[in-house]
Amino acid sequence: MSKPLILVTNDDGIAAPGIRALVEVAETFGEVIVVAPDSPQSGKGHAITIHDPLRLKKVSVFEGIEAWECSGTPVDCVKLAKHVILKDRPISLCVSGINHGSNASINILYSGTLSAAMEAALEGIRSIGFSLLDFSFDADFEASRFWAGKVIGYMLEQPFRHGCLLNVNFPKLSPQEIRGIRLCRQANARWVEKFVEGRDPGGRPYYWLTGEFINEDTGDDTDVWALENGYVSVVPSMHDLTNYTVMKDLSDLESIG
Ligand code: MN
C-alpha cells in the first residue's frame, strides 16, 4: 500500500511551534507536504485573496519535508496546495494547526485554522483542525502531540470515502491529567465584544477589539464542557449553514405572492 499523502497547514504562520508539533506527528503516518501562511493569519476565517497576486516560496523549515510559505490566507494555502503544488494528486488527509488558542464552540467561524480544514473538506478531503487552549507562543504541545497522533491514526483508518471535518481541541493539561476523548456538539456560546479606544500619535482615535467569551450552554455533550472537564473535544462540523428549524417555520412563505 502506498503511503498516505498528508497536507499540513495552519493560521499562526509557518514559523509557529504548533505547526512544527503537527508536522512531527503527521510524518509518522505518511508523506507530508506543508503549505502555510508566511505570517500570522488568525481570525481570518474563510477569507480568500482575489484582488492581489499570491506568492509561494519553497522553504527549508522542517528537515526532510517539502514546505511552502504562502503570502495569502489559510484557505488560499489549501487551494494553492491542491491545485498548484500537488496538481490534483489525491490528498489522504489535511491537518491544520496545532492552533495556539481555543477553536471550540463559536470560534470555529472566525478561525483560519478551521477554515483551512473546512476548505479541504469542501474538496472532498477528510480533514482535521487541531487547537490547544493556550495562546502563548511557547505553549507545551506534549499532550496535544499524543492525542493528535491518536486522532490522525483513527481517521486514516476510516473506510468512508467522503470528505469531512473534525474540530479537535486540547485542554491545557499534562498528558497524565487528560481523561480521554469526547465526541461532542459545538457549545452554543458567543463573544461579547468590547472595543478599547485609544489615540494614535496623530491624535486620531483607534479601536482595538477585545471581548469576553460567554457560555450559557452547560450541556455535558458540548465541547466547552469536555474541555473544562479534562477531555479532548472532537466535534464533527459542516459548512451547510441552512437553518432547517426556521425553514420549517417558514413553510408557507412561497404562498405570499
Ligand atoms: Mn491562530
Ligand 1 centroid to Cα of residue 200, in Å, is: 27
β-sheet bridge partners, residue 208: 196
157: left (phi over 0), alpha (psi -120 to 50) or beta: alpha
Residue 148 backbone phi and psi in degrees, to 5: -60, -40
Look up cell 507530508; give the residue: 32
Ligand 1 centroid to Cα of residue 136, in Å, is: 11
Ligand 1 centroid to Cα of residue 94, in Å, is: 17
Per-residue pLDDT at 202 exceeds 80: yes
pLDDT per residue over 23-33, tens digit each?
999 999 999 99
Ligand 1 centroid to Cα of residue 114, in Å, is: 9
Ligand 1 centroid to Cα of residue 225, in Å, is: 22
Q: Kindly indicate the confidence band of residue 104, based on its pLDDT and cuts at 50, 70 and 90.
A: very high
Nearest to 8 by CA among 183, 152, 162: 152
Q: How far apart are CA 19 and CA 14, in angstroms?
A: 7
C-alpha grid cell for residue 74? 489559510
Ligand 1 centroid to Cα of residue 14, in Å, is: 11
- Please give the domain boundaries of the chain with CATH numbers for all domains: 5-187+218-256 (3.40.1210.10)
The CA distances from residue 96 to 103, 111, 228, in Å, are 12, 11, 23
Q: How far apart are CA 148 and CA 142, in angstroms?
A: 10
Ligand 1 centroid to Cα of residue 17, in Å, is: 11
230: left (phi over 0), alpha (psi -120 to 50) or beta: left
C-alpha grid cell for residue 61? 523549515
- The mean pLDDT of 156-166, rounded to a whole number, is 88
Q: What percent of the chain has pLDDT over 70?
A: 100
Ligand 1 centroid to Cα of residue 16, in Å, is: 9
Ligand 1 centroid to Cα of residue 10, in Å, is: 7
Ligand 1 centroid to Cα of residue 12, in Å, is: 4
Ligand 1 centroid to Cα of residue 229, in Å, is: 23
pLDDT per residue over 227-249, tens digit each?
999 999 999 999 999 999 999 99
pTM of the model: 0.95
The mean pLDDT of the chain is 96
Per-residue pLDDT at 49 exceeds 90: yes
Ligand 1 centroid to Cα of residue 103, in Å, is: 9
Q: How far apart are CA 71 and CA 77, in angstroms?
A: 9
Ligand 1 centroid to Cα of residue 111, in Å, is: 7
H or E segment to which residue 209 belongs? strand 205-214
Per-residue pLDDT at 1 exceeds 80: no
Ligand 1 centroid to Cα of residue 53, in Å, is: 23
Q: Kindly indicate the confidence band of residue 163, based on its pLDDT and cuts at 50, 70 and 90.
A: confident
Ligand 1 centroid to Cα of residue 255, in Å, is: 46
